[in-house]
Copies of this chain bind each other. A is one copy, B any other.
Amino acid sequence: MVKDLLRRQHIETPSWAYGNSGTRFKVFAQRGVPRDPYEKLSDAAQVHAFTGIAPTVALHIPWDRVDSYADLARHAHSLGVGIGAINSNVFQDDDYKLGSVTHPDPAVRRKALDHLLECVDIMDATGSATLKLWFSDGTNYPGQDDIRERQDRLAFALERVYERLGEGQRLLLEYKLFEPAFYVTDVPDWGTAYAHCLRLGDKAQVVVDTGHHAPGTNIEFIVAFLLREGKLGGFDFNSRFYADDDLMVGAADPFQLFRIMFEVIRGGGYGPQVAFMLDQCHNIEPKIPGQIRSVMNVQEATAKALLVDRDALAAAQREGDVLGANAVLMDAYNTDVRPLLGELRAETGLDPDPMAAYARSGYFEKIAAERVGGAQAGWGA
């Protein structure tokens, strides 16, 4: 039963995780990094090949712009993976210095909206069902712009995009406390994203990036609440000790990840309607193993969450047995699920140890040798 559920898990990796990334201080180059969207898909296919649960890849436009999306989708399928969510980008053009869809200048807003609509075109071309919208829009100084008018402008753009969505397509709205805006961010918290999505309708849902909250925020509460409202669309998984550190998911607080997965399952969110996506930056660790490890971390947290004895938990909760109820949860968390997951992999023909298997595969040596010359893909490339 637990194994059946684990077999169905589906974690999407992002194309941009395979390129170089960094902080504002330095982007460290790595060997073998892909030079175009096709090579990114090849790398993503490796993650799926060794974990068995990462069958789709998210694209980022314009970073992954190609002449023929149909061709790109065919390439993906030939590698055993599919195209996942389309991510818009309205933050890397000089025009967007003061915002994109919330910019004070209507011409810039129009340009940004056109890009969002283009992303829906790409969804049509690739068959992608999901548009993920993150806006870096905001201001750095009090008074810089009108907080409320920016909401009006945002609502206008969202409505236009929503109207453009076709059958079976949806938009996910992401929120983030701060960065790159340092005073006001136009979609800073789940409440703002929720209110906009509610206005838009059923095809609009909130996406929770686990690194986008203020210190102390209880993320699993948000998950439980959004599921209750039917408004949780998915996750951008990563982890953080400080701000939006974008470390590997589960690396900073594995107990939190477990609690989040527990609420997903308890709230009926373990299924295709809630997308599990990774979104992190491997600034210093190698890219492909970084993704493999992250997929495994989500899987381990899921396995533990599935092991919670829900009947015993409910009984202890009903009786107000604080220590007993907590102990039921902790019993599952303290279980070492690695043998179970090794077994699961072996049963589906995979190596029980994906990290070691990838290392032995020679793939890294191959790409490090082949991918010489050309511009290595990075944020913005």
Contacts and interface: CB of A to CB of B under 8 A. Distances in A.
Interface of A: 21-26, 28-29, 91-92, 94, 96-98, 104-105, 136, 140-148, 151-152, 177-180, 182-185, 188-192, 194-195, 198, 213-218, 220-222, 224-225, 227-229, 240-243, 245, 247-248, 251-256, 259, 263, 266-267, 283-286, 289-290, 293, 300, 313-314, 316-320, 322-323, 325-330, 333-336, 338, 355, 379-380
B215 A320 contact: no
Nearest to A26: B92
12 contacts: A25-B379, A26-B92, A140-B283, A143-B326, A148-B225, A180-B283, A182-B240, A183-B252, A191-B191, A191-B222, A334-B338, A335-B336
Contact of A336 (B141, B198, B334): B334
Contact of A92 (B25, B188, B225): B25
A12 to B, nearest CB: 21
A286 B324 CA distance: 11
A94 B331 CA distance: 30
A318 B105 CA distance: 7
A178 B245 CA distance: 10
A266 B143 CA distance: 12
Contacts of A263: 147-148
Contact of A140 (B152, B216, B247): B247
Given A22-B24, A184-B221, A323-B355, 17 more contacts: A22-B180, A25-B92, A25-B179, A26-B91, A26-B96, A141-B251, A144-B326, A148-B263, A177-B242, A178-B243, A182-B247, A183-B218, A183-B241, A185-B218, A253-B256, A254-B255, A334-B338
A305 to B, nearest CB: 11
- A21, A178, A183, most chain B CB atoms within 10 A: A183
Contact of A148 (B148, B191, B267, B320): B267
A253 B241 CA distance: 12
B228 A148 contact: yes
B216 A146 contact: no
B26 A192 contact: no
Nearest to A224: B147
B218 A241 contact: yes
Contact of A105 (B29, B248, B320, B326): B320
Nearest to A290: B323
Nearest to A136: B25
Contact of A323 (B188, B259, B289): B289
Contacts of A327: 143, 293, 355
A320 to B, nearest CB: 5
B216 A177 contact: yes
Nearest to A194: B191
Contact of A322 (B144, B245, B323): B144
A363 to B, nearest CB: 15
Given A28-B97, A225-B192, A322-B144, A178 B266 contact: no
Given A104-B320, A142-B326, A326-B142, A228 B179 contact: no
A150 to B, nearest CB: 9
B330 A143 contact: yes
Contacts of A248: 141
A217 B214 contact: yes
- A242, A313, A333, most chain B CB atoms within 10 A: A242
A193 to B, nearest CB: 9
